[in-house]
Amino acid sequence: MAQLILKNISKRFDGTGRAAVENVTLTVREGGLLALLGPSGCGKTTVLRMIAGFEAPTGGTIQIGERCLASDDTMEAPEHRNMAMVFQSYALWPHMSVAENVGYPLKVRRLGTEEQRSRVASALAAVRLDAYADRRPADLSGGQRQRVALARCLVTDPDVVLLDEPLANLDRHLRQEMEETFREFHQRSGATMIYVTHDQAEAMALATDVAVMSEGRLLQVATPEEIYARPEGRLVGSLIGQGAILSLPSPVGHYRLFDRATMQRMLEGGAGVAVDVLVRPQDVEIAAGGIAAQVLSVLFEGERYAVKLSLPDGQVVRAFSRVSVQVGESVPAILHHGWRL
């Protein structure tokens, strides 16, 4: 096992003007779980399929450690890459039993019968499906099919495991359970995993690193904590976590994290070029001493109220409140922090 390195990867499909993926450079650390996050159509699945070898990049190189998988003059076939993938549709073979599905990669690799049997058994045990070995995929529920697909990835000790929106077809309750299974699977196997999703909460919960893509370009790669606290640019700021982006005159200097006093000054107006400032709802407090804001909407979320506030200049921020407020009411709002995007 080694690092997976993508260098200046591009993909342009025949007959379309715009590149699906443009100049993506990315290193996935060994044993890491990288979430590839972005809105649908941003090129994240294309990147995944290029790593798997189903698509050839039109430019750039992909290598794993020293081994080159794809470049201008080489193209390693997917069947030789030693990778495994969980597909959005699970891709279980309907004419094979659960055990045959899981054991197929071993059968192709011509392992001994006994070896095959024991590895299939332990893979099925790992996803708690030992009792289902002889069933057909059609007899299983969505979550069970997902686990079979995962077990099929487990059996071969792949260098890289790819997951293509694996939770998209599951209901909310099953998603949480499967997130847990994936995390467990990642910790146990130590495999390098790449997880494509458009759900930022899923990405934050699972990943050791998050890569945000939009319109074929890679915007930022960082740990979940880092990307939440220090997003780069409007797009990442709006994709990761909740928050409002305000356009405010920038103070002098290179600060990016503004404290309460600075925010107050900026809100009151002043000289300077307008910049985008991200304000997270937990940094907005409804308390005496703040600036006057009008309540636009209130949504009861159980543990708190989610409130939208209109600032004097008409810009909108989100806030959490422990007490109920009325729509149309004027309340004082304190902005504790802001982050310049």
Partner 1 sequence: MSRFRKRANGQPGWLFPFVVTAIIILSVLPLGRLAVTGVASALAGGAQGVLTDPTLWRPVYNTVVTSFFGMVAAVLLGGGFALLLTLFDIRGKRVLGFLFMLPTMIPPQVTALSWISMMGPSSTLLKAIGLAPPLGSPQPLYSIGGIAFLFGVQNAALVYLSLRAGLLALPRDAVEAARLSGASSFQVLKDIILPLSLPGFAAGAAIAFVSCVGNFGIPAILGIPASIYTLPTLIYQKFAAFDAGTFADISVLSGLIAVLCVLGLLVESRVLRGRDYRVIGLSGQIAVFRLGRFRLAAELLLWLTIGIILFLPLIALVASSFAPAYGVTLTPATVTLHAYEEILLRQAVTRTAFVNSIGLSLTTAFGLLLVSVLMGYFLVRGGSRFAAVITALAEMPYALPGVVLAVAFILLFAAPLPLINVSIYGTIWIILLAYLSSFLAVSLKPVTSAFRQVDPSLEEAARLSGANFGRRMRDILVPLVAPAAGASVILVFLIACNELTVSALLWSAGTQTLGVAIYNLDDSGSFNLASALSVLVVIMVIAMMLLLEAMGSRLPKGVVPWRS
**Rg over CA atoms, the chain:** 24
150 three-class SS = helix
Window 81 to 120, contacts with partner 1 (CB under 8 A): 81-85, 87-89, 91-95, 104-105, 108-109
For residues 189 and 181, the answer to whether their CB atoms sit within 8 Å is: no
Whose CA is closest to 191, among 86, 83, 64?
83
Beta carbon of residue 92, minimum distance to partner 1 (angstroms, whole number): 8
Q: Is 55 in the site for partner 1 (CB under 8 A)?
A: yes
Exposed, middle or buried by CB within 10 Å (0-12, 13-18, 19+), for 96? middle
Q: Which residues pair with 37 in a beta bridge?
A: 197, 212
C-beta pairs of 314-321 under 8 Å, 24+ apart in sequence = 315/244, 315/246, 315/247, 316/244, 317/244, 317/246, 317/279, 317/281, 317/284, 317/293, 318/242, 318/243, 318/244, 318/279, 318/281, 318/284, 319/281, 319/284, 319/285, 319/286, 320/281, 320/282, 320/284, 321/286
Beta carbon of residue 190, minimum distance to partner 1 (angstroms, whole number): 19
Beta carbon of residue 140, minimum distance to partner 1 (angstroms, whole number): 16
Beta carbon of residue 312, minimum distance to partner 1 (angstroms, whole number): 51
Q: Which helix (H) or strand (E) holds 90?
A: none
Beta carbon of residue 185, minimum distance to partner 1 (angstroms, whole number): 17
Cβ nearer to partner 1, comparing 56 with 327: 56
Cβ nearer to partner 1, comparing 55 with 283: 55
Q: Given the rule CB under 8 A, which of 31-39, 75-83, 179-187, 278-286 is the region that contacts partner 1?
A: 75-83
Q: Is 60 in the site for partner 1 (CB under 8 A)?
A: no
Cβ nearer to partner 1, comparing 160 with 204: 160
For residues 48 and 36, the answer to whether their CB atoms sit within 8 Å is: yes
Q: What are phi and psi of 84, to 5 degrees?
A: -140, 160
Q: Given the rule CB under 8 A, which of 31-39, 54-62, 241-249, 314-322 is the region that contacts partner 1?
A: 54-62
Give the per-residue contact string, 242-271, with partner 1 (x = CB under 8 A; - = no): ------------------------------
N residues, the chain: 341
Q: Which CA distances in Å does 189 have to 36, 52, 160, 234?
A: 20, 19, 11, 36
Beta carbon of residue 106, minimum distance to partner 1 (angstroms, whole number): 9
Beta carbon of residue 120, minimum distance to partner 1 (angstroms, whole number): 13
Cβ nearer to partner 1, comparing 14 with 303: 14
Q: Given the rule CB under 8 A, which of 27-35, 50-58, 257-265, 276-284 is the region that contacts partner 1?
A: 50-58
Q: Given the rule CB under 8 A, which of 27-35, 76-84, 278-286, 328-336 is the region that contacts partner 1?
A: 76-84
Copy the structure tokens of residue 143: 């979550």
Using CA atoms, how far apart are residues 146 and 112, in angstroms rounded to an integer?
A: 27
Among 1, 75, 205, 325, binds partner 1 (CB under 8 A): 75
Using CA atoms, how far apart are residues 217 and 44, in angstroms rounded to an integer?
A: 9
Beta carbon of residue 210, minimum distance to partner 1 (angstroms, whole number): 24
CB within 8 A of 112, min separation 6: which ones?
none
Cβ nearer to partner 1, comparing 83 with 286: 83
Q: Is 144 in the site for partner 1 (CB under 8 A)?
A: no
Residues that bind partner 1 (CB under 8 A): 52-56, 75, 77-85, 87-89, 91-95, 104-105, 108-109, 152, 156
